[in-house]
Amino acid sequence: MATRKLKPITPGQRFRVVNGFDAITTDKPEKSLISSIKRSGGRNNTGKMTMRHIGGGHKKRYRIIDFKRDKSSIPAEVMSIEYDPNRTAFIALVKYTDGEKRYIVAQNGLTVGQTIVSGEGAAPEIGNAMPLSEIPLGTIISCVEMQPGHGAVLARSAGTFAQLMARDGKYATIKLPSGETRMIMTNCIATIGVVSNSDHQLLVSGKAGRSRWLGRRPRTRPVAMNPVDHPMGGGEGRASGGHPRSRNGIPAKGFRTRNKNKASNKFIIERRKK
């Protein structure tokens, strides 16, 4: 997992830092596991723009990822580690002994030819998925379910991980990447190891055009707007804009918007750090 700094032969490459893609073994995706994506450009069914800053970008095909890891006790061999344009992490193509192929989110240290397995009775080794009830305390995990059978939703992006802190009855205590500590049912599935491509945070785009390649359109700073357009707009000269807030007036940067009566609040032991 190394990064590469490009030689400054053009203005856009002067500060560019790209992924070395050392872990990638092929650039050809598995045809049976890809599907097309329809891009909205931020427009709704009537053609009206309902979401700003979206549009353009390179054409992509979606890789169908197995987040549930529900092929229990069937060994699978890692066939390749691949790039996925739809997520920051790398993905791994695995082939089960019954012949089925699936994509999973790859963990750091996962190599071609390695055998992985999911379900009860699996060893706590990198790439294996198992219930929280069977994972040793203190283990670094990723791709964690919040509800049994619903598939992984937590700690899925590049370089992220959670840690299994404790178990009490039917609940396990997990420390999440955000710093939040919460309880999750012990029959939820998690994968052993840190999510791959941990150098993703070190990348530098180098130029504005790369944001356009990724489908992001330009964003206007609120303090550069007029008062009619944004609460932080207006003022003489370079006015700071007052307290940070959204376009509809809700304070930003520290204001808590979570519902105090939300049912899942009882599972949160310690909130994430500000």
Q: What are the structural domains of the chain?
A: 3-42+50-201 (2.40.50.140), 221-274 (4.10.950.10)
Q: From first to last of its 274 residues, what are the pLDDT tens digits of the chain?
A: 589 999 999 999 999 999 999 999 999 999 999 999 999 999 999 999 999 999 999 999 999 999 999 999 999 999 999 999 999 999 999 999 999 999 999 999 999 999 999 999 999 999 999 999 999 999 999 999 999 999 999 999 999 999 999 999 999 999 999 999 999 999 999 999 999 999 999 999 999 999 999 999 999 999 999 999 999 999 998 888 889 999 999 999 889 899 999 999 999 999 987 6
Question: In the 3-class helix/strand/coil scheme, how is the chain assigned residue by residue?
Answer: CCEEECCCCCHHHCCCEEECCCCCCCCCCCHHHEEECCCCCCECCCCCECCCCECCCCCCEEECECCCCCCECCCEEEEEEECCCCCCCCEEEEEECCCCEEEEECECCCCCCCEECECCCCCCCCCCEEEHHHCCCCCEEECEECCCCCCEEECCCCCCCEEEEEEECCEEEEECCCCCEEEEECCCEEEECCECCHHHHHCECCCCHHHHHCCECCCCCHHHCCCCCCCCCCCCCCCCCCCCECCCCCECCCCCCCCCCCHHHHHEEECCCC
